[in-house]
Amino acid sequence: MNIRNVCLVLGCALIAVLAVAATNQKARPFAPNVNLETGQIRVPENYTRWPTLGTWSHAKTEGEPGAKEYHVVYTQPETIDYYQKHGRYPDGAVLVKELINTKTMPMTTGEAVSHATTIKGWFVLVRDTQGRFKESKLWGDGWGWSFFNADNSVKTASTDYQVDCIACHLPAREMARADADESDKWIYSFGYPVLRK
């Protein structure tokens, strides 16, 4: 092999290595929480090790004291770093909203205190800036949208985000920063003070 051919082979090898690295870079935040072929989302196994973005306390009705449910939202630490720097959610950001049942009882610190008991289910959103999974009814408007019942964290129970999710997320758009990314306006970000530096 002459020197010219050696350079050619080395050049091709370098291009191949860079191409694989670029593909991995793209897939990295999605796997293993999203099946890259089908777009199937699962509840990330390690999400309770992630920082919480915020907590929503859902009051009991009819004048009873305490909370009926807590909704705790978790995300990867990188998502918070990125949002603080750029003011938007990065590609691959996963938002897990855990629904938790509660029990309310009198405690020494106050009249009635609620605490978390059992998990009721999860809502999961995955940011997609590339418009992947165009065929799937669980992806669109810049996100993958899925609901999971408490007894199955790998099988999505919802079927169509336009039917199951969008209407309830419309009010978030009115509360969003005027200069927010159009897809990010679907998120109730005002409940997450950690995103504001």
Nearer to ligand HEC by C-beta: 1 or 168?
A: 168
Chosen residue from 34, 72, 165, 195 binding ligand HEC by CB under 6 A: 165
Sign of CA dihedral 84, 87, 92, 95: positive
In the set 125, 126, 176, 195, which binds ligand HEC (CB under 6 A)? 125
| Among 149, 147, 195, CA closest to 168 | 147
Q: Are 71 and 99 in contact (CB under 8 A)?
A: yes
Pick the closest to residue 183 from 95, 72, 122 (CA basis): 95
Instruction: Tell me if 184 contacts ligand HEC by CB under 6 A.
Output: no
Q: Which is nearer to ligand HEC, 128 or 164 (CB)?
A: 164
What is the Cα–Cα distance from 141 to 139, expressed in whole angstroms?
7
Asked if 87 contacts 187 with a C-beta cutoff of 8 angstroms, the reply is no
**Least distance from C-beta 178 to ligand HEC, angstroms?**
18
Contact between 164 and ligand HEC (CB under 6 A)? yes
Which residues of the chain form contacts with ligand HEC (CB under 6 A)? 56, 71, 73, 95, 97, 123-125, 145-147, 158, 161, 164-165, 168-169, 172, 187-188, 191
